Structure formats: C-alpha cells, structure tokens
C-alpha cells in the first residue's frame, strides 16, 4: 500500500511537473527571448593591419634573404672570400678618395661588365639596393646642383651608386658564413667573429619565431584591436627571453663539445686562377687611380 501511495504521489507530482512544463512551453512559444530575436549582424570594423602586415613583410624579407644565401645557384664570380673582401674594401677606398670622374667612370663600367654576367634575381637585388640609395642621394644633392655646384652633385650620387654596387657584389657572391670565416684572416678578434656568427644564425631562428607571433596576433585580432600596439612589447619581450634561453643553451652545447672561445679555420679556400685575375684587376685599379689623380 505504502508503495502504491508512494507511486500515486509520484504520479501526481509528475503530472504537476508536466503541467508546469506545458505551461512554460506554451508561454515560451509566444515569447522568444530577446537575445535570440535580435538579428546579429556583426561587421568587424575594417582595419588595415598596417603595422602587423609591415612587420610580417619585413621579417619575411629578412628570412628570405638569409634563405636565398643557401639556395643561390653557383656563380662564376665566387672569388676566394678573403681576397674578395680585400678587393671590395680597396675599391671602396679608391672610389671614395678619387677626384677624377674618369676613374669613377672606369670603375662603373667594370662593375657593369661584372653585373651583366650575373643571373637576373641577383642582378635585381643588387640594382634595387644601389638605385634606391642613389636616388636618395641625388635628391639630397639637388639644392647643390641648383646653386651651381654641378661637380659634386654629379660625383656624389655616382660614387654612392658605385659603392653600393661594390658591396652588393660582395654580399651576393660570398656566403655570410664564409665572410665570417674570412674575417679571421684579417686578425679580427675571435669574440667579434663569435658574436657575428651567432647573430646571423639566430637572426633566422628568432625571425621565424617573431613571424609566428605576429601571425598569431593577426589571427586573434578581429576588427579593430586597440591594444595591438601593446602586444608589440609582448612579442619583443618573448623573442628576447627566447633568444637569451637559446643563446645560453647553445653556448653550453658548444662548451660541451670543447669550444674554448677560439676560432680555427678548417676549410681553407684555395687560391685559384680567377682569384689571381681578380687581384691583377684590382692592382690595375690602383695604378689607374694614381694615373688619373691629376685629372679632374
């Protein structure tokens, strides 16, 4: 009996809840909550993302430059790197010191001839670099040209063009790691080589890291994100902490493998015929420099 009563009560209570539900259901048919009714048109405010996009692009261009060093096809102009560096500095010095337009012209024609043998991607890279700076210096020299100082206002942009092209030739023909190796030949202290070497290697890894961070920031900010600039501090901070950690790890790893802070050159580049020709050409430039010293 008790059980049945219990059942009964159970039944009644169930019925009661059913009725409650029904009434709630019927009332809710007619009143949909407001928040569901409101038409949801969210148009994120357009933002041009200039700063993030620009940062991503500049990081990308740096990375591609470093990557390009590895994938560049072989070039006939692969002069022995120490010789190449010495020649480059000699030429830069001569061009800077020369007052003779003819000498500058001869160097310019020599560079044109060398450039014409380069492949198109390298050519474009070198010329972009040198043309941009030359244009800039030409604009700066414009007032001097207008006030009648035509000599230096023509000479200086020419020298800028030639100097940047000379540097471009070096950077496009010698790999960065071979340049740091060549510095050893010039008695540069080991600590500088170490720093330069690690800097170049880590520029790539940290560049990739910051690229990831930038892309994450771009994905997460929908519409106008006013606190984006404050994220910049976060990105730089993270990259800095990461770099510190990585540098310590690497230094320990190097020490474990017996690195005592001294650099030794293992692979010696041999002097070949083209290196000798390169040296002769540069010696010729020295002669020409003194020959044309009397001309203006």
Partner 1 sequence: MHIPDNYLSPATCAVMGGAMVPVWTRAVRKVKAELSKVKIPMLGVGAAFSFLLMMFNIPLPGGTTGHAVGGTLLAILLGPYGACISITVALFLQALLFGDGGILSFGANCFNMAFVLPFAGYYIYRMIKNSIKSEKGEFIGMAFGSYVGINLAALCTAIEFGIQPLLFKDAAGQALYCPYPLSVSIPAMVLPHLLVAGIAEAVFTIAIILFIKRVSPGSFYEGKKEKNKSIYGLIIMLVCLTPLGILAAGTAWGEWGAEEISGLLSADGMTGFTPVGMQNGFSFNAVIPDYAVSGLPEPAGYVLSAIAGTAILIIFFKILGSLKKEKE
Considering only residues 24, 68, 97, 102, which one is a binding residue for partner 1 as defined by CB under 8 A? 102
Q: SS3 string of the chain?
A: CHHHHHHHHHHHHHHHHHHHHHHHHHHHHHCCCHHHHCCCCCCCCCCCCHHHHHHHHHHHHHHHHHHHHHHCCCCCCCCCHHHHHHHHHHHHHHHHHCCCHHHHHHHHHHHHHHHCCCCHHHHHHHHHHHHHHHHHHHHHHHHHHHCCCHHHHHHHHHHHHHHHHHHHHHHHHCCHHHHHHHHHHHCCCHHHHHHHHHHHHHHHHHHHHHHHHHHHHHHHCCCCCCCHHHHHHHHHHHHHHHHHHHHHHHHHHHHHCCCCCCCCCCCCCCCCHHHHHHHHHHHHHHHHHHHHHHCC
Based on the shown chain and the rule CB under 8 A, indicate whether residue 295 belongs to the binding site for partner 1: yes
Q: Of 39, 45, 116, 260, which lies in the binding site for partner 1, with binding defined by CB under 8 A?
A: 116
* Candidate segments 110-118, 222-230, 237-245, 265-273, binder of partner 1 by CB under 8 A: 110-118
CA–CA distance from 107 to each of 98, 130, 158, 161, 171 (Å)?
A: 11, 15, 11, 11, 18
Contact 225, 234 (CB under 8 A): no
Binding residue for partner 1, selected from 112, 241, 253, 276, defined by CB under 8 A: 112
Window of 6-14, 40-48, 98-106, 268-276 that interacts with partner 1 by CB under 8 A = 98-106
The least distance separating partner 1 from the CB of residue 274, rounded to whole angstroms, comes to 14
Q: Is 160 a binder of partner 1 (CB under 8 A)? A: no
Asked if residue 121 binds partner 1 (CB under 8 A), the reply is yes
Per rule CB under 8 A, is residue 119 in the interface with partner 1? yes
Closest approach of partner 1 to the CB of residue 113, in Å = 5
Does residue 124 interact with partner 1 by CB under 8 A? yes
Nearest distance, CB of residue 124 and partner 1, angstroms: 6
Interaction between residue 44 and partner 1 (CB under 8 A): no
Residues contacting partner 1: total by CB under 8 A: 19
Is 68 a binding residue for partner 1 by CB under 8 A? The answer is: no
Q: Which stretch binds partner 1 (CB under 8 A): 79-87, 107-115, 197-205, 270-278?
A: 107-115
Q: By CB under 8 A, tell whether 289 contacts partner 1.
A: no
Residues 227-246 that bind partner 1 (CB under 8 A): none
Which of 56, 127, 138, 254 lies at the binding interface for partner 1 (CB under 8 A)? 127
- Binding residues for partner 1 (CB under 8 A): 100, 102, 105-106, 108-109, 112-113, 115-117, 119-121, 123-124, 127, 292, 295
């Amino acid at each position: 009996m008790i059980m049945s009563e219990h059942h009964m009560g159970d039944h009644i209570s169930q019925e009661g809840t059913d009725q409650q539900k029904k009434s709630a259901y019927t009332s809710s048919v007619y009143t949909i909550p407001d928040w569901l009714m409101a038409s949801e048109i969210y148009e994120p405010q357009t933002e041009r993302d200039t700063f993030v996009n620009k940062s991503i692009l500049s990081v990308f261009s740096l990375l591609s430059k470093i990557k390009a060093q590895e994938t560049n096809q072989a070039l006939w102009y692969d002069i022995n790197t120490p010789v190449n560096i010495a020649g480059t500095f000699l030429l830069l010095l001569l061009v800077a010191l020369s007052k003779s337009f003819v000498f500058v012209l001869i160097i310019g024609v020599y560079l044109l001839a060398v450039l014409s043998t380069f492949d198109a991607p390298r050519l474009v890279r070198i010329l972009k670099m040198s043309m941009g700076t030359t244009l800039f210096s030409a604009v700066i020299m414009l007032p001097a040209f207008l006030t009648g100082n035509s000599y230096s206002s023509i000479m200086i942009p020419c020298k800028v063009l030639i100097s940047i092209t000379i540097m471009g030739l070096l950077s496009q023909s010698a790999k960065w790691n071979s340049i740091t190796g060549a510095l050893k030949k010039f008695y540069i202290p080991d600590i500088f080589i170490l720093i330069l070497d690690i800097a170049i290697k880590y520029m790539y890894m940290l560049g990739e890291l910051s690229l990831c961070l930038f892309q994450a920031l771009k994905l997460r900010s929908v519409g106008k994100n006013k606190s984006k600039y404050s994220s910049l501090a976060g990105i730089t901070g993270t990259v800095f902490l990461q770099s510190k950690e990585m540098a310590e790890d690497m230094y320990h790893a190097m020490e474990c493998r017996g690195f005592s802070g001294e650099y030794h050159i293992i692979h010696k580049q041999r002097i070949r015929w083209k290196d000798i020709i390169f040296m002769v050409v540069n010696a010729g430039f020295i002669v020409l420099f003194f020959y044309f010293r009397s001309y203006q």
